[in-house]
Amino acid sequence: MAGPQVVVVGGGPAAAALVHGLHRGGHEGSVVVLAGEGCTPYDRTAVSKGLLTGEVPTAPELFPEVLTADVVRHADVVEIDRAAREVVTGDDDRIGFDRLVLATGAAPRVPPVPGLDGPHASTLRDAAEAAVLAERLRPGARLVVVGAGLIGLEVAAAARTRGASVTVLEAAPTALSRVLPTVVSEVVLSRHAAEGIDVRLGTPPSAVVSSSSSSGQAVVVLADGTELPADHVLVATGVAPRTDLAAAAGLAVDDGVLVDERLVTSDPAIMAIGDVARVRAADGTTARHEAYTPAMAMGQHAARTILGEPTRFVDVPWSWSDQLDLSIQVAGWPDRADRWVLRGSAEDLDAGLFAFGVRDGRLVAATGVSRGRQVGRIVRGAQALVAAGLDVDDAALADPSTDLRRLARTG
């Protein structure tokens, strides 16, 4: 018997993992991915790293053996007709579905500062934008990055590697505050400073205006009147989930499309996965992630649900960032920590510095930074401990000889 007709709106990593999972699980119905970007899915994490430095010539494709041009169609979906069980594309095609999966991701937010939406500024979300930005990062070019989050600092590092001079403006008093405690972010900032990157905290731009001199294309004006000449301004001030379609269709939305633990929305025929989805856990808490591995995990999970093996999506998120020679990793939910336990030292980044976030005696987050990939073993071990939900002892967390993965197994 033929399986359900699955329509996916998206074309990013979450959509790719879903289609791969359906294929591997022997899905017998048809699958169509309606992808706004006009290309088959690729690894978006290269956009602010290898694609800018030139180390990666083209964005690595995801599961090209399954995500063929027959499956992925270039189309912008403009409406979900829930009554007819159809989606409508910008070309007015109507495509019927038994199961619809929203994997529309997130889009950069641009703060309402004059000039940040102008000709001298851009955002960075996709490979096409990376190609344009990479062209501008010539040796000696002046780049001003607005926002010292993961993407802003990755771009700063890549631009510096290419010989550009870089200033980063951050409105908050700390950098990377969404994902790292200050003790770890300060290590990252000093590495940027050592490379000649000028990171200014508590310093939002007031305006970007066209330059009247030959000293650059634009001038970034600060609140105290300081003027920074710039050849280009990169706006990296966070993203917002692309929920418009879902909201217009009357699905429950609250900073993300709300889904239950099976990743099903308020309409049983429609699921949402990846950056756009906000998952409600059994205890009523909700979480939305902006990271590659959780997006892939949700895609695989949704595939199992469609294949008739529904289970609760329980995932401790994990993500990484590469900046200069530093590897940064984050597991769990840093925003839930009420205190941090440290391991290691900023003086020995070959071994790494780690901060473990604790709440009510349980580990809820692990963050770390190291030169090279050393950080991974410990943050991954801590991820298992977060998942185990056991009470943890501060001394054990701080002790470099404690094997966190084993602790997760043995309690």
Ligand X SMILES: Cc1cc2nc3c(=O)[nH]c(=O)nc-3n(C[C@H](O)[C@H](O)[C@H](O)COP(=O)(O)OP(=O)(O)OC[C@H]3O[C@@H](n4cnc5c(N)ncnc54)[C@H](O)[C@@H]3O)c2cc1C
Interaction site with ligand X (CB under 6 A): 9-15, 34-37, 44-45, 47-48, 76-77, 103-106, 124-125, 151, 242, 245, 274-275, 290-293, 295, 319-321
Q: How far is the CB of 35 from ligand X (least distance, A)?
A: 5
Q: How far is the CB of 258 from ligand X (least distance, A)?
A: 15
Q: How far is the CB of 243 from ligand X (least distance, A)?
A: 10
- Closest to ligand X by CB, 13 or 334: 13
- Closest to ligand X by CB, 216 or 241: 241
- Closest to ligand X by CB, 11 or 357: 11
Q: How far is the CB of 305 from ligand X (least distance, A)?
A: 17
Q: How far is the CB of 60 from ligand X (least distance, A)?
A: 12
Q: How far is the CB of 127 from ligand X (least distance, A)?
A: 9
- Closest to ligand X by CB, 11 or 21: 11
- Closest to ligand X by CB, 367 or 402: 367
Q: How far is the CB of 393 from ligand X (least distance, A)?
A: 29
* CA 290 – CA 282 distance, rounded (Å): 21
- Closest to ligand X by CB, 13 or 332: 13
